[in-house]
Structure 1
């Protein structure tokens, strides 16, 4: 047996070296991000066998090309038709010139070109935590008269999930069209019996990219991280709150969950409707021609907010959410307030934040004191030294877990959505953000930010420098792997 192993081992070693060579060549040829290239090469060096396995599962772009290239063409063609039919170019130009300030002109024009038209006649209602959001959502669902479209990254059939599911089944039995998309990883806990129960009541429900190996899926790529509900093409809900009892702080979980969501009424709902239709075509593999009921005529006096809704994902031409963050950050003249549960910015975003702070902008960032992923937390901490040196104020939220994803600029622009400030949201997941040009909404978010400071500690530069060598080293090592997290 030993002789057999000695004979076989050189062959296995040769095959392994060839595999490593092929992977290295593939990384160099395919990866457009040098930081990510360096991270994968480092992973292969430090973890010879395990690193290769990680790359095979999470690093290859072959799967992405096969799945999403065709969808990208469909999105582009359908998107141009949507903009032409439902928001004319003449209307967009007139709306853009009506903005009070040209401060955000680049951002507006960039998003307009990415199938995210600026619209007026919108009303925004903000919700702090799931306790507020789900009361409003259930009320709106019960009023549905034509259709309900719903997609969530996490949908758990617990107390709140069961309540929503009961409403969806009831509305379907009343003859309302109910279409539902849940992510194959985030909603992995849903059993087959749940899908059968919903479908038997008339709810059309599909999984977004179902997975074959659940044990390996906690961070698998290309997930649908969006949280969106659209009712009758007139009202929508979106933001950071998933369907899970954790978000309603009902005492079942020890950790307090701090999050932000919004209700959108008005013309911008059409963009969320358009995005849902794209994902529905993807999961069902069937074309769908929307009708007037999906894009109904709206009252002319719904609201006064100017709004753009923007999506990004592996089937999108641009890294639009990352680029829009960059443009928003660099448009700041007075103040910049950011909340995010995962802070692993790429070089462009980090440079924008630091440059803003050094130019006199009051930059404040709020992140969780403790994360639900230790390696992500450690990587995040490695950025703190540069932020502090630039004069950025960093707040650690200690009351519970901060899951809000918000950004305000000068009290004029408010951004709220599903995207974290990290590589995964920028490059890999399907995300959606709402850009609101409304001083009242920005003020409300800023007031929430100020209130949350009572549950935070302000990071002290001297104490941060005095941390142990081991802690600094571990954070620096995790930083090297940041593009892969």
Structure 2
């Protein structure tokens, strides 16, 4: 047997070197972000065989092009139909200088060019944690008359999941059209019986990119990370809260989950509806001709908030989530407050945050004291030195796990969504954020942020410098892999 392997090993080694050569050439020809290129090359160098396997599973863009090429055509064709038929007819809100500050003019124009029109006649209700979200969601579901569209990254068949599922099935039996999308990785725990029961009740349900090898799914690419519910084209829920008992904080789980969601009513729901239709066509492989019931007229009585709904994903031409974050950060004049569970910024985001602080803007960032991923936590901590040097206050949330994804600028605009401040949300996942131009909402979010400080420790520059060499080295190594996380 040993003689056999000795004879075979030169051929295997030659094949391995050939594979590495082809992979390296492929990485270079793709002209990716240099940081990501360096990370993959480093991975191939430090982990000779495992690095190649990781790249083949998670690093190739060929799969992305094959999966989403058709979706890009749908986006282009249906997107223009959406603008022409459903928004132009309602005279998409012009940028009123007196109502929406010129300070955010560039941000608004950027989003408007990416199928994210500025809309008025909106009412926004902030929902803190699952304790506020789920009762409001169940109440709205029970009032549905025409259709319910729902898509979640994580949907669990636990206590709260059963309540929502029963509400959906009851509505389907009443004749309400119920369409549901769950992510193939985030909702992997859903059993085949769950899908059979939902379909038997009349609920149309699809998995977004189901997976064949569950053991390799913890970081697989191109997930649908959105959390969206649309009811009758008028009411919607979106933000950071998935469907899982962990978010309810009822004592069932030891960890307290701090998160933020919104209930959105009015014209901006049309954009969320449009995004759902795109994903539905993708998962169902069927064309969909929307009707007026999907895009009903909205009345001025809904509310006075100006809103833009910003989406991004591997099927989007622009990295609009990241770019809009940059524009919002750079528009700050007085204050900037950021809450995110995963802080692994790229160079543009990091430069925007630190430059704002150095120019006199009060910048505060809140992240978890303990993350649910040690490697992500270590990579995040590697950025703290640069933040502290710029005069930024960093708060580490200790009460539980901070899962909120929010940003406020100058008590003027707010961002609530599904996107983390990391490379995965910027480049790989399907995400959706809501930009709210309403000082009242910004003040409320800032009050919540300030209240959460009581459950945080403020990072001290001196204590940070005194960390062990072992810890510093671990953080530096994880930072090298940050573009892949």
* TM-score range for the pair, normalised by the shorter chain length: over 0.9
Paired position in structure 2 for 1:319? 319
Paired position in structure 1 for 2:44? 44
Query: Structure 1 residue 5: deviation in Å?
Result: 1.3
Normalising by structure 2, we get a TM-score of 0.99
Query: Structure 1 residue 97: deviation in Å?
Result: 4.2
- Summarize deviations over 1:410-463 as a string: whole Å, max 9, x none: 000100000000000000000000000000000000000000000000000000
5+ residue gaps, structure 1, are none
Query: Structure 1 residue 397: deviation in Å?
Result: 0.1
C-alpha distance in structure 2 between counterparts of 1:469 and 1:59, whole Å: 31
Paired position in structure 1 for 2:84? 84
Q: Is the 8 A contact 2:94 2:118 kept in 1?
A: no
Paired position in structure 1 for 2:118? 118
Paired position in structure 1 for 2:158? 158
Q: Is the 8 A contact 2:93 2:119 kept in 1?
A: no
C-alpha distance in structure 2 between counterparts of 1:291 and 1:38, whole Å: 48
Matched, 1:339 2:339: yes
- Summarize deviations over 1:214-245 as a string: whole Å, max 9, x none: 01101100000000000000000000000000
Paired position in structure 2 for 1:400? 400
Paired position in structure 1 for 2:443? 443
Higher mean displacement: 1-10 or 259-268 = 1-10
C-alpha distance in structure 2 between counterparts of 1:164 and 1:98, whole Å: 42
Paired position in structure 1 for 2:452? 452
- Summarize deviations over 1:118-149 as a string: whole Å, max 9, x none: 00000000000001000000000000000000
Query: Structure 1 residue 2: deviation in Å?
Result: 2.0
- Summarize deviations over 1:238-257 as a string: whole Å, max 9, x none: 00000000000111111000
Query: Structure 1 residue 31: deviation in Å?
Result: 4.1
Q: Is the 8 A contact 1:107 1:324 kept in 2?
A: yes
Paired position in structure 2 for 1:287? 287
Paired position in structure 1 for 2:142? 142
Matched, 1:237 2:234: no
Query: Structure 1 residue 384: deviation in Å?
Result: 0.1
Paired position in structure 2 for 1:221? 221
C-alpha distance in structure 1 between counterparts of 2:258 and 2:77, whole Å: 39
| Equivalent residue runs for 1:258-277 within 5 Å | 258-277=258-277
5+ residue gaps, structure 2, are none
Query: Structure 1 residue 197: deviation in Å?
Result: 0.2
Q: Is the 8 A contact 1:346 1:422 kept in 2?
A: yes
Paired position in structure 2 for 1:172? 172
C-alpha distance in structure 2 between counterparts of 1:301 and 1:86, whole Å: 19
Query: Structure 1 residue 98: deviation in Å?
Result: 4.9
Query: Structure 1 residue 99: deviation in Å?
Result: 3.1
Query: Structure 1 residue 89: deviation in Å?
Result: 8.8
Query: Structure 1 residue 73: deviation in Å?
Result: 1.6
C-alpha distance in structure 2 between counterparts of 1:466 and 1:97, whole Å: 50
RMSD: 1.0
| Equivalent residue runs for 1:325-364 within 5 Å | 325-364=325-364
| Equivalent residue runs for 1:398-477 within 5 Å | 398-477=398-477
Number of residues of Structure 1 aligned to a counterpart in Structure 2: 485
C-alpha distance in structure 2 between counterparts of 1:99 and 1:478, whole Å: 45
Q: Is the 8 A contact 1:96 1:118 kept in 2?
A: no
Query: Structure 1 residue 96: deviation in Å?
Result: 4.4
Q: Is the 8 A contact 2:148 2:178 kept in 1?
A: yes
Query: Structure 1 residue 211: deviation in Å?
Result: 0.2
Query: Structure 1 residue 85: deviation in Å?
Result: 1.5
C-alpha distance in structure 2 between counterparts of 1:298 and 1:414, whole Å: 23
Higher mean displacement: 99-108 or 42-51 = 99-108
C-alpha distance in structure 2 between counterparts of 1:115 and 1:97, whole Å: 21
Query: Structure 1 residue 86: deviation in Å?
Result: 1.7
C-alpha distance in structure 2 between counterparts of 1:277 and 1:173, whole Å: 22
Q: Secondary structure at the match of 1:415?
A: strand
Paired position in structure 1 for 2:207? 207
C-alpha distance in structure 1 between counterparts of 2:71 and 2:184, whole Å: 18
Query: Structure 1 residue 300: deviation in Å?
Result: 2.0
